[in-house]
Chains A and B, each alone.
Chain A
Amino acid sequence: MRKYSVFALAREALRAHKGWEAQWSSPEPRSSYDVIIVGGGGHGLGAAYYLAKEHGITNVAVLEKGWLGGGNTGRNTTIIRSNYLYEESMDIYEHSLKLWEGLSQDLNYNVMYSPRGVMMLSHNTHDMQSFKRHINANRLYGIDNEWLTPEQAKAYCPPLDISKTARYPINGAALQKRGGTARHDAVAWGYARAASDRGVHIIQNTEVTGIRRGLNGEVTGVETNRGFIGAKKIGVSAAGHSSVVMEMAGVRVPLHSNPLQALVSEPLKPIFPCVVMSNTVHAYISQSDKGELVIGAGTDQYNSYSQTGGLQIITHTLDAICELFPMFRRVKMMRQWGGITDNTPDRSAIQSVTPVPGLFVNCGWGTGGFKATPGSANLFAHLIAKGEPHKLAAGLTLDRFRTGRLIDEAAAAAVAH
């Protein structure tokens, strides 16, 4: 693989960039593979990359029904953080954050990981109790997360309105400095390029229409719109469509697929230095390298695969944004879009073996999938290679819905008395 560097760039500049080769090859599928990953998003491509890199399994194909990164990988607001509450969550998101920190170098592809800080605003006593609980848990776990006074929050994010007259005045904030953003497309392309370089087959426009099983119920391969492709193991990482794909193997998973919308403003000169989130008023916002304000809206209330949502979700989010940052009221929304998030009952992901031998599933990342990409991919590769979960992902198995051992980050932030 041609190494990317400033020198290569300079060399190519002199010959009109004719020398660049395709970032990943697009081969015809083999008749069978050791592992087939269903879903060519960041999680799936990453899993294939780590299977090859860390487990020496290179006879791998990633099947994508559309274009790489066309699902939630290419539709999210690119926020990265690891300051979660429960050990199970901290384990995987911190593992992920550590990988983010070296990902551009590991992949030789600039994914533009930018630790500009993720600040979560506290608006009342209950927020403060909940955030302090996170901060203390994070500190004892070795994860950075600090409490800021309103003044410190304003210093870190000057556009913030900390006036006492606000409808929900800010009484502090939790800041994870290592949190930030990355370039979502680059993650998919970077993994695809690096995986392809290690022999993984990246096969786009190939939709899995069925999962074939053998006499003992084990998987033997997948039916696709391009015919049958054999596989010893199948890893499903098809966020948004996890239920649909798992149903092909007769496995029901506890998921709701909901529309999640986001929007960007027209490009502006740098005005917003970090990522700000507020659970109380339901908003999160950052500014992209192109200068767009990137704003995440809430999920629509109903199940849908339409990748569209209601305008009221957008307006509700902008209410909050303009309440926190009154000077943005004259800024304009340039583009809105929607993705499909798979949400589990406890809002934590599922990474698990399934009742079907050889079938593994990685789903249910809800609205947190992008930040988890490297960690999830890395641990999913381990699960597929070893047949059992890595200890950092041990809590994410399907079994918890029978035992009741949920990882309920949402409930932990329960609404106050």
Chain B
Amino acid sequence: MTPKMLLLPVLLPAVLAVALLLLPRALRLVRDALAVAGAGVLLYYGFLFFSVKDLRYAVPWLGMGIDFDLRLYHFSSFILLALAGFLFLIAVYATVKMKDAPRGREFMAYVFLTAAFANGAALANNFVPLVFFWEGLLVTLYGMIAIGGRPTSGRTAVKALLIAGFCDFSLILGVGLLWSVAGTATMSEIAVEPTGLAAAAFVLMMIGAAGKAGAMPFHTWIPDAAVDAPVTFMAFLPAAFEKLLGIYLLARVSLDFFKLRPGGAMSVLLMIVGAATIVLAVLMALVQKDLKRLLSYHAVSQVGYMILGIGTAVPVGIAGGVFHMINHAMYKSGLFLSAGSVEHRAGTTELKKLGGLRRDMPLTALGFVVCALAISGVWPLNGFVSKEMVFHGALETGYTVFAVAAWIGAIFTFASFLKAGHSVFFGERTTDVPEVKESPAAIVLPILVLAALCVLFGVYNKLPLDRLITPVVAPHAEAGAHLDFTGHALDLFNVVALISVGCLVLAFLIHRHGFLKGGRKAYLASEPFHGLPGIRQAYDLAEKRVFDPYEQGVKALQGLSLALYKAVDRPIDFVFEKAVTAAGEKFTGILKKAHNGHYANYLAWCLAGLVILAGAIGLLAK
């Protein structure tokens, strides 16, 4: 294993991307085989690199502190492995799902190009290559949405590009500031206190990293993309890759580059961002009527847990945040893939048109339910473990309010997944969707693999915690600190876990309440259900379409959700989409009017400019 090998995760996918693009349409099978095989090779190397862990490839580049520097160490090898795993699953899935898509070939090429940039970003150990790879992701993001093939795809792509571009540019600004404060662009050598100018750098870089992960208020393109972009894209970028990279960078920023202190201003800032994202996004998720849109708001909400966890700056919180990142990537990816599977067969993801698909698509349903339970934090799945750690971390800082926010998020996460799961897979078949079959193996397998991983990481949490998470946190914990997160990970009998369970119960009660008010019969109770008994009863209690709990029981909540949707989400969207445009156009109009074509006017500008410049230089010289 030579240092040069580190170029492989960057170059191989890039070459593959070009090859996939060049292969003619007729050779689709070759193309698919190449994609899956290439992803397989990358996964193999992912494991290989994970076992090596310490490698650095640095060549001088431009001078002035700009080197081409790639560094493999524990954290980056972990991210690299995760990226490779998701790439493999997505590649398999896309062979079927994107088969008939009009621009499937370009999509595949974009996937591998994204992987190349993402691997580069994870490995980069100098700011300039980091920014380069980071910006490269912007291009593929735009491209993948733009080829969505819907009338509004182009608009959404531009919106995504502008929002993500804003975040990226603030990252660049932050990088520049940090570079000048720290005096070096080599990432492994930077460790500064977040005060003064460095604090500004921290905030800017935080915007860049959290924006990439999709935190509020940089999220509004995600729900739109859910509708306008291929669903595979959603499982790939917003659900998995962007979270992994964004949180990876956020962790690097707050742990390595800056010495975040528990309870410090920057820590509290991060926790506020995290908590706000959790609560606001989940409330918005409640009122969504489309499965993909609903999932996408959860993709935003869950980022809040990660940011909150890292923001606590205490070991258990950080570990929880990072663990939540990998967990979330698994179950959210699984959920989007399940939605894609449903879309593949039923042709729609609108909740009111779907129902009872459990019988037709049992495996998809199984995968969806497991992932939904995991995201809701049900014992003993992985989501439970990582959320508990975040709660503990938040409580440890003394700011109980953030833990409360996180619990509120847990309640509504579960509630909305009860709604989603019920309306798609349970209840009565609707007439909108004809008899359907289970999706082909290439679609179902990735879902089941992800679901199985969710179970594995929950039940056998020692594996991920000891092998992946603890080594990340260890260098930042005080010497001799207690770093065994596994002992009580599944312990249900402590106050925190009991409150969490209480939250889940509360979510059930919301449904129950709504159901009783509706006065409907619970005929779903007779349906056999191969899941967990608690869930089954909860679903059984809800009788009609899942919107009714809100229509009947929690009108107030719905009002609040809608109000928030209108008062927070749309204005942010408005700022990005309308206000900026309008202001720009106004300004442009004034400037254009000034250019009226009159020579004397232009000459007057020149002479005025001359006088002003002479005065300015003269005054400044003094």
Question: Do these two chains really belong together in a complex?
Answer: no
